[in-house]
Amino acid sequence: MNMREKVIGATLIITRRGKREEHTSKYEADITFNNMTSIGDVCDFIESMKKIWNVAMQAAKNYENVTDISLDLHEAVYEMTDEDAGISQLSFDRWYIRDISDICTEKGEESIYLVPDTRYTRPSRDMSIDKDVLRSMAYTMG
């Protein structure tokens, strides 16, 4: 019996200038959708993505202390076949921010613009994530 899994992950890395040295923080969110995914898993993923969104917004609002920021989002679909055949990757897509200017902090327009990594993702599949993180992602990811 074949089974498919969709894996979504995000990583935000921010480096800030401190009084004496730079400090780097890393935030991650990931989920695997399959027949074992629970509502609790989805809630945890949503909370982690909201944390990433909020931290990125704060970094953009206080950008004078930020020396580097990166946000990477990826989606992959795998098919599990019988034990002999193993796992096949059916698709892989990746998006990222180019720099802090891809984060809009204007009141009422807050969003993070992610460009597609054209090595994996069609150029037309750009993504904008607003405060309703999951709905924003679903618009592009489906």
Give residue 1's pLDDT: 61
CB 101 within 8 A of CB 17: no
Give residue 78's pLDDT: 93
C-alpha to C-alpha distance for 110 and 11, rounded to whole angstroms: 19
72-85 pLDDT, tens digit each? 999 999 998 776 67
Mean pLDDT, the chain, rounded, equals 92
Domains identified in the chain, total number: 1
CB 97 within 8 A of CB 73: no
CB 71 within 8 A of CB 12: yes
82-137 pLDDT, tens digit each? 766 788 899 999 999 999 999 999 998 999 999 999 999 999 999 999 999 989 99
Query: The domain containing residue 70 runs over which residues?
Result: 3-141
- The reported pTM is 0.89
